[in-house]
Each structure stands twice: as C-alpha cells, then as structure tokens.
C-alpha cells in the first residue's frame, strides 16, 4: 500500500497561525478559554481532507476487508466520530484506553492500559485515531503493544501535533495523517479535556493558565 502524491499533501499537518486566534464565542465555559486556536469550521474542513486522503490510501486494502479504526479513549472520540464519517470505505470501530496524564496538565511519563481492544488485530489493516501528540509516550507504548499482535499495517491519524521529538516521528510512514500542528500550549475542546471538563466545546482553545493550580502549571 503506497501513499499517492496528492494524498500525501492532504495528510500533511496544517500549521495553526497566530492570526487565526480569536476570542471564544459566548458560552458557559468560555470564560476559562484564553483564545480559540481552531474553530468548528476549520476542524470540519480539515477532517474532510483527512477522510479523503485515508479513503484514497486504503481503497485497495479495503477490498480484502474493512479498515479497523482504533479509537483512543476518551480524547479522540469527537474527532473519530467525525473522521470515520469522512472515510468512504467499510470501517470497523474499536476502542482502547491508555492513561498518562491523571488529572494534571503535565505528563507523568508513565502509561497504563485501562481498556484493551475487543478485536483481533492479526492480518488487519488498522488505523489508530489519536487526539493529540504531545510527548508521544502514550502512542509509542500503544504501538509497541499492538504491533506484537501482527496487524498487516498500523498507521496513525492524529488531529493535533505539538511537534516535540518523539519515537513515533522516527518511524517512517507511521504518523501518516496529522490534522494540525499547534504551539506547545495546553488546549481543550473537541474531545480534549482538563480534569474531564471542556470536552464538549465545539472548538479547540488554549486554557487560561489561572485554571491550573500553581503546581500543575508548565
Ligand atoms: P502524550 O503521551 O504526551 O503524547 O499525550 C498523552 C495524552 O495526553 C493525549 O492523548 C491527550 O489525551 C493528553 N494531552 C496531551 N496534551 C494535551 C493538551 O494540550 N490538552 C489536553 N490533553 C492533552
């Protein structure tokens, strides 16, 4: 399976520009948001592009069976719900939960699998759908664990990337699809949380630093 030139362009991350930043729309949680970095419309447009790239790349592979979308709980649920509907191929869904953050806004560095897949990965084409790559530790751990189950292929589609050095980035072709590259700030909304809040915001915004307790600040 090869990625065509035009699909590769669609798969490349779009860099979020500071000129895009906007005040949050009025709402009960908007007072906690410093600024919006991605609107609902920008997210939707990009997801249609990612869906088109995935459809094109997996078209042939899908002749031998549905693509298995591995959705990481809980942050990727909103993204995955929209992304799978932008993929014009047979797709099966499965869920996995790994934890590396606890309730703070900084990574703990340790990763724990809380819920495993129900599906057999052996000889399947699988696509891990991830919300955000920060340190990449969670994803790296997942890939090591899931690779041992011998899927035919296993690539990653991440909505956001903070562009830090991480092992997954060094594996050719693994991080195949990325929505946006974003600055190194703590963001919430569209599935992403702080202490389980803000997941239902329709946009992605930077959380005001005063929302963190002092010891949790970066
Ligand atoms: P990583 O292992 O550091 O790449 O990140 C693990 C998980 O932490 C991600 O899948 C997210 O669920 C969460 N995370 C990382 N950065 C942020 C952020 O800026 N906002 C909200 N959650 C984040």
Check pocket membership of 107 for ligand 1, CB cut-off 6 A: yes
Task: Give the position of tokens 């599906």.
Answer: 119
Residue 130 CA to residue 140 CA, distance in Å, equals 12
Task: Give the position of tokens 């990337």.
Answer: 161
Tokens of 110: 């340790």
Q: What is the mean pLDDT of the segment spanning 189-198? A: 97
The architecture that CATH gives domain 5-16+40-184 is 3-Layer(aba) Sandwich (3.40)
Residue 213 confidence (pLDDT) above 90: no
Write down the pTM of the prediction.
0.91
- Ligand 1 atom with the smallest distance to the CA of 111 is 2
Longest C-alpha distance within the chain, in Å?
Answer: 53
In eight-state DSSP terms, residue 174 is T
| Res 6: pLDDT | 54
The pLDDT tens digits for 42-56 are 999 999 999 999 999
Tokens of 147: 């690779």
| Res 7: pLDDT | 46
Check pocket membership of 133 for ligand 1, CB cut-off 6 A: yes
> Can you give the residue ranges of every domain in the chain?
5-16+40-184
The pLDDT tens digits for 144-192 are 999 999 999 999 999 999 999 988 999 999 999 999 999 999 999 999 9
Distance 133 CA to ligand 1 centre (A): 6
């Amino acid at each position: 399976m090869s990625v065509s030139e035009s699909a590769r362009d669609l798969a490349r991350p779009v860099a979020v520009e500071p000129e895009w930043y906007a005040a949050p729309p009025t709402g009960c949680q908007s007072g906690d948001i410093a600024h919006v970095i991605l609107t609902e419309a920008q997210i939707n447009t990009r997801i249609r592009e990612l869906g088109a790239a995935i459809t094109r790349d997996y078209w042939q592979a899908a002749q031998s069976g549905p693509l298995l979308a591995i959705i990481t709980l809980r942050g990727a649920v909103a993204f995955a719900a929209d992304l799978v509907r932008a993929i014009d191929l047979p797709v099966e869904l499965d869920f996995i939960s790994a934890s590396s953050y606890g309730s703070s806004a900084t990574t703990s560095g340790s990763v724990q699998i809380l819920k495993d897949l129900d599906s057999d990965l052996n000889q399947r084409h699988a696509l891990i759908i991830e919300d955000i790559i920060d340190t990449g530790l969670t994803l790296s751990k997942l890939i090591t664990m899931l690779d041992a189950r011998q899927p035919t292929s296993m690539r990653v589609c991440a909505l956001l990337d903070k562009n830090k050095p991480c092992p997954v980035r060094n594996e050719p072709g693994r991080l195949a699809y990325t929505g946006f590259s974003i600055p190194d700030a703590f963001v919430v909304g569209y599935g992403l949380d702080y202490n389980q809040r803000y997941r239902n915001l329709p946009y992605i915004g930077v959380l005001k630093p005063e929302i963190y307790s002092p010891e949790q600040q970066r």
